């Protein structure tokens, strides 16, 4: 079991009035805001929100250490098996949508739209060691991308591997191509990684020929110093906007979840109240405040229904 040993591990799901949340740093801002507002109303409650990474969140959820796991990707089978093995039951609640935004420096005008092939050529496992955009042309062309990259320093910046954002990027952009080419399903190792999305933003803003990806929220907050790149997922180039993301028209749109442990719902009223609040209209505002895309009405209803059913 990796769980109980994890570094900032083991906020044991404890006394009736304390709620432990951990997981995706992408979702952390939402949960933090919700928690803050919930505690304001219930001072006797104790909430802890941490963002070590989606995987850590699931590990701890399945170790029974936390009540809610923030996730920027669905739970993996292996993780689900872990939970089952430990007798942990949970409900998956889709609470927001994020558009994983590929971006570059505003002064970089040569790139407007990229295919997955291009991104694979620039940031995939086979790109390890490339230091110039043009070096990626051959592979990009071979894979049927636009290619035609200029002769300029290539600086790749992105969230650390512990983040769900990274997983999503690999899953959406890299996996398929890597699979058929028999490559490791991961990005190149030699990119500037940071656990802190703002550092990523600064890395790109600070370098004219950089490329990188973050959650839409962080892009939006820094739209003035960044330039989003259109993505062609096969149906033409799409720019990430609230609309294109909400409608999943943007190829890198991804759902954000919270996974709530249901074992103690009967005994732990605070948790029930907390999630109720999370899904209430007041709670949902936090999504927008945190800069993410709120769910369309029908999706929100679906989520609330799922929660209602879980409460039984």
Partner 1 sequence: MTANSALIDLTGDPRRRRRERTVRFVFMTAAGVSVLISLAIVLSLIEQAWQFVVAIEFDQLLANGWFPRRGRFEFLTLFVHSSIITGIAMLVAVPFGLGSAIYLSEYAKPTSRRILKPILEVLAGIPSVVLGFFALQFLTPSVIRKVFPAADSANFLAAGIGVGILIIPLVASVSEDAMRAVPRALREASYGLGAKQWHTALRVVVPAALSGIAAAIILGISRAIGETMVVALAAGLNGIRNLNPLEGGLTMTGAIANLSVGSDQVAGNDSAFQSLFFVGLMLFTLTLGLNVISERVVRRYRQRY
Partner 2 sequence: MATTSTSELVGRSLRRRGRSWVNTTIAGAMLFSLLFSLIVLVVLLADTIVKALPVFRSRGLEFVTANLSSQVDSAGIAQGIMGSLALTFLVIVIAFPLGVSAAVYLEEYARDNRWTRMINANIRNLAGVPSIVYGILGLFLFVKLINQGLFSVADGISGRNLIAGGLTLSVLVLPIMIITTAEALRAVSRELREASFGVGATKWETIRAQVLPVALPGILTGAVLTISRAFGETAPLLLAGAVLSQYFSVSSDAGLVDLVSNQPYTALPLIVYNFARQPETEFVQLTAAAILVLLGMLLSVNAATILLRDRVERRRG
User: Interface mask (CB under 8 A) for partner 2, residues 287-306, using x and -?
Assistant: ---x----------------
Q: Which is nearer to partner 2, 199 or 242 (CB)?
A: 199
> What pairing do the DSSP bridges indicate for beta strands 46-49 and 18-23?
parallel
Q: Of residues 157-196, which lie at the interface with partner 1 (CB under 8 A)? A: 160-163, 184, 186, 189-190, 192-195
* Cβ atoms of residues 99 and 231 within 8 Å: no
* Strand 227-228 with 230-232, pairing: unpaired
CA atoms of 80 and 149, how far apart (whole Å) = 42
Smallest distance from the beta carbon of 231 to partner 1, in angstroms? 25
Pairing relation of β-strands 227-228 and 101-104? antiparallel
Kindly list the distances between the CA atom of residue 287 and the CA atoms of 92, 96, 141, in Å, as whole numbers in the listed order: 17, 7, 39
Distance CA 277, CA 285 (A): 11
Count of H-run helices and E-run strands, the chain: 13, 13
> Cβ closer to partner 2: 5 or 282?
5
Tokens at 57, concatenated: 């969140």
| Candidate residues 11, 95, 170, 271; the one interacting with partner 2 per rule CB under 8 A | 11
When asked if residue 87 is in the footprint of partner 2 (CB under 8 A), the reply is: no
The residue assigned the tokens 């935004």 is 101
**Segment interacting with partner 2 (CB under 8 A) among 6-14, 102-110, 255-263, 303-311:** 6-14
Give the up-direction half-sphere exposure of residue 219: CA atoms within 13 A in the CB hemisphere: 27
Separation between Cα atoms, residue 262 and residue 91, nearest integer Å: 7
Q: Which is nearer to partner 2, 10 or 272 (CB)?
A: 10
Span of 43-51, 81-89, 232-240, 304-312 interacting with partner 2 by CB under 8 A? 43-51
Residue 80 to residue 83: CA distance in whole angstroms: 5
Size of the site for partner 2 (CB under 8 A): 36
Please pick, from the candidates 23, 24, 26, 29, the single residue that binds partner 2 as defined by CB under 8 A: 29
Q: Which of 236, 144, 230, 223 is nearest to 181 (CA)?
A: 144
Q: Say whether residue 55 binds partner 1 (CB under 8 A).
A: yes
User: Minimum CB separation from partner 1 for residue 185, in Å?
Assistant: 10
Which option in partner 1, partner 2, none does residue 11 bind, with CB closer than 5 to 8 A by kind?
partner 2
Q: Find the shortest distance in angstroms from Cβ 145 to partner 2.
A: 32
Q: Which string of x and - marks every residue 17-46 that binds partner 1 (by CB under 8 A)?
A: --------x---------------------
Cβ pair 168, 204 in contact under 8 A: no
Binding flag, residue 7, partner 1 (CB under 8 A): yes
Total residues contacting partner 1 by CB under 8 A comes to 39
Footprint of partner 1 (CB under 8 A): 1-3, 5-8, 25, 51-56, 58-60, 62, 76, 78-79, 81-82, 160-163, 184, 186, 189-190, 192-195, 199, 202-203, 206
């Amino acid at each position: 079991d990796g769980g109980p040993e994890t570094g900032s591990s083991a906020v044991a799901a404890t006394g009736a009035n304390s709620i432990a949340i951990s997981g995706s740093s992408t979702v952390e801002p939402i949960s933090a805001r919700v928690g803050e507002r919930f505690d304001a109303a219930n001072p006797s409650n104790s909430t802890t929100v941490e963002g070590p990474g989606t995987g850590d969140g699931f590990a701890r959820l399945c170790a029974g250490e936390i009540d809610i796991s923030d996730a920027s990707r669905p739970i993996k089978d292996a993780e689900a098996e872990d939970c089952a093995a430990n007798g942990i039951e949970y409900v998956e609640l889709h609470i927001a949508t994020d558009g994983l935004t590929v971006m570059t420096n505003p002064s970089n005008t040569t790139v407007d739209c990229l295919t997955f092939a291009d991104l694979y050529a620039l940031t995939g496992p086979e790109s390890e060691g490339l230091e110039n955009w043009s070096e990626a042309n051959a592979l990009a062309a071979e894979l049927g991308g636009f290619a035609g990259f200029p002769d300029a320093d290539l600086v790749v910046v992105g969230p650390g591997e512990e983040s769900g954002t990274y997983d999503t990027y690999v899953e959406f952009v890299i996996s398929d191509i890597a699979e058929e080419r028999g490559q490791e399903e991961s990005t190149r190792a030699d990119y500037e990684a940071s656990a802190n999305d703002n550092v990523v933003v600064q890395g790109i803003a600070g370098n004219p020929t950089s490329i990188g990806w973050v959650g839409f929220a962080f892009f939006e907050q820094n739209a003035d110093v960044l330039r989003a790149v259109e993505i062609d997922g096969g149906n033409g180039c799409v720019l990430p906007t609230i609309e294109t993301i909400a409608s999943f028209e943007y190829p890198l749109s991804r759902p954000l979840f919270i996974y709530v442990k249901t074992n103690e719902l009967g005994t732990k009223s605070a948790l029930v109240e907390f999630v109720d609040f999370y899904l209430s209209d007041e709670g949902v505002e936090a999504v927008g405040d945190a800069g993410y895309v709120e769910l369309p009405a029908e999706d929100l209803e679906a989520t609330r229904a799922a929660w209602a059913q879980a409460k039984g």
